[in-house]
Amino acid sequence: MLKCAIIGLGKIAQTSHVPAYLSRRVKKKISVVGGVDISEENSKDFKKLIPGAEIFSNTDDLFKNLDIDFVDICVPPSLHAKYLNAALKYNVGIICEKPFTKELKEAALLKRKLLEKKPVFIPCHQYKYSPVWKNFKSFSDKTTGGNFLQFNIFRNTADLGYDKNNPGWRTDKKLSGGGILSDTGTHYLYLSSWILDKPIQVSVFNDTLKHNKYSVEDTSVVILKCEKGIAEINLTWAADRRANNAFISDGKRSMSYDGKKICFYDKDKAKEIHVPDASDKRTYLAFYEDLFLDFANAMKAKKFDRSLIEESYESVKLLDLCYKSAEKKKTLIVS
Ligand SMILES: NC(=O)c1ccc[n+]([C@@H]2O[C@H](COP(=O)([O-])OP(=O)(O)OC[C@H]3O[C@@H](n4cnc5c(N)ncnc54)[C@H](O)[C@@H]3O)[C@@H](O)[C@H]2O)c1
């Protein structure tokens, strides 16, 4: 049984990571024995979910008192680098929430250290486990190029965190690194690179349409040219409601997702592809369960996977280039 400690016992830890760890499939392999947080309130709430876990206010006390196989980092992005370094110091495996780090410099440094120390590592790029995006990926895999991919992500506000002292960290650039582009856009940047292969150039327009008090953009339009086509990623916290949809076409066939189902079109023939209901919480939790199981298997096999470190670093590098493109109002080449 692998022993895990979660660092940052807020919303994502309590509402997604813990239920996934406690699921029938994962609890056979992983036991959450510890936690780290500076908020007493969140630590107490976490103890209600996992009464046996011991909670500490810092990682030195955690590692002095408990024998841990890996940590799961769920603090806001500005703190990811601090806890990635702590995990490297104590030679444990690492699961890390997205975005990998808040800044590109931190990402480059951490990439070097991770490649040197070779821990078992996985970023929470859990959308790659979604049946919807797996269908989009296999659509593109059957093509040699020329794909047009579009994602539309509508929200009416930025989510609040559980940290009572600072629930609005997502809209504070110092803590988040950026607005909707960094918070939600990270998922669609790694998905676009996964579905359409290597990114080549990027052009981004960021703006504030509704939330003038945010110190970050509430709306972002990304155009990303990749080896197998063009992705357009439209993200906003300024819509009237929450909705998602997506579309891909290679010029002969297409696939569209309306937030509930996928329709596949081949010439005049249309076929519905069943995917689990995205509004059902169990659907979302299953992505985390699959990711945790892959991680547990890698820990058991002591399997170091360089590609996941590269993917984490590349997602921050692309995010950084997106912000530079928006600032300079220019199309930029991905080096
Ligand atoms: N993969 C996804 O789909 C997804 C979804 C939501 C959030 N996230 C990510 O998860 C992370 C946390 O987001 P959240 O919504 O749970 O935030 P949150 O504010 O609800 O939780 C953060 C927790 O970190 C704690 N914390 C703050 N400073 C700390 C410190 N110095 N040391 C230890 N703990 C500290 C807070 O007290 C709080 O309990 C972010 O990186 C976010 O981007 C990912």
Q: Residue 14 belongs to a domain with what CATH number?
A: 3.40.50.720
Q: Give, in order, the Cα–Cα distances in Å from 187 to each of 76, 124, 128, 151, 272.
A: 16, 9, 9, 11, 25
Q: How far is the CA of 161 from the centre of ligand 1 (A)?
A: 7
162 belongs to a structural domain:
yes
Long-range contacts of 261-268 (CB under 8 A, 24+ apart): 262/132, 262/135, 264/139
Give yes or no: residues 77 and 155 share one domain.
Answer: no
- Inform me whether the pLDDT recorded for 294 exceeds 90: yes
pLDDT the model gives residue 100: 98
Return the best residue to mutate from 97, 159, 235 for the ligand 1 pocket (most ligand atoms within 8 A of CB): 97
- Inform me whether the pLDDT recorded for 278 exceeds 90: no
Name the residue range of residue 174's domain: 127-277+315-333
- Inform me whether the pLDDT recorded for 277 exceeds 90: no
Host H or E run for residue 276:
none
Q: What is the mean pLDDT of the chain?
A: 97
Give yes or no: residues 238 and 103 share one domain.
Answer: no
310 belongs to a structural domain:
no
pLDDT the model gives residue 142: 97
Contact 217, 178 (CB under 8 A): yes
Q: Residue 261 — pLDDT band, cuts 50, 70, 90?
A: very high
Residue nearest (by alpha carbon) to ligand 1 atom 19: 161
3-state secondary structure (DSSP) of residue 325: helix
Give residue ranges with CB within 6 A of ligand 1. Answer: 8-13, 36-39, 42, 74-77, 79, 97-98, 124, 126, 161-163, 169
Give yes or no: residues 108 and 222 share one domain.
Answer: no
Q: Please state the rounded mean pLDDT for residues 307-329.
A: 98
Return the best residue to mutate from 75, 166, 290 for the ligand 1 pocket (most ligand atoms within 8 A of CB): 75
pLDDT the model gives residue 292: 98
- Edge-to-edge order in the sheet of strand 121-123: 54-56, 30-36, 2-7, 70-73, 93-96, 121-123
Give yes or no: residues 138 and 268 share one domain.
Answer: yes
Residue nearest (by alpha carbon) to ligand 1 atom 40: 76
Q: Residue 164 — pLDDT band, cuts 50, 70, 90?
A: confident
Q: Which atom of ligand 1 is nearest to the CA of 42?
A: 39
229 belongs to a structural domain:
yes
283 belongs to a structural domain:
no
Give yes or no: residues 165 and 240 share one domain.
Answer: yes
Contact 273, 135 (CB under 8 A): yes
Give yes or no: residues 106 and 175 share one domain.
Answer: no
Q: How far is the CA of 239 from the centre of ligand 1 (A)?
A: 24
Q: Residue 283 — pLDDT band, cuts 50, 70, 90?
A: very high
97 belongs to a structural domain:
yes
Residue nearest (by alpha carbon) to ligand 1 atom 36: 163
The total number of structural domains that make up the chain: 2
pLDDT the model gives residue 165: 84
Q: How far is the CA of 210 from the centre of ligand 1 (A)?
A: 25
Give yes or no: residues 241 and 170 share one domain.
Answer: yes
Burial tier of 38 (Cβ tally within 10 Å: 0-12, 13-18, 19+): middle
Give yes or no: residues 271 and 190 share one domain.
Answer: yes
CATH number at residue 150: 3.30.360.10
Give yes or no: residues 70 and 165 share one domain.
Answer: no
pLDDT the model gives residue 324: 98
3-state secondary structure (DSSP) of residue 70: strand
Give yes or no: residues 159 and 272 share one domain.
Answer: yes
302-312 pLDDT, tens per residue? 999 999 999 99
67-122 pLDDT, tens per residue? 999 999 999 999 999 999 999 999 999 999 999 999 999 999 999 999 999 999 99
pLDDT the model gives residue 268: 85
Q: How far is the CA of 167 from the centre of ligand 1 (A)?
A: 10
56-67 pLDDT, tens per residue? 999 999 999 999
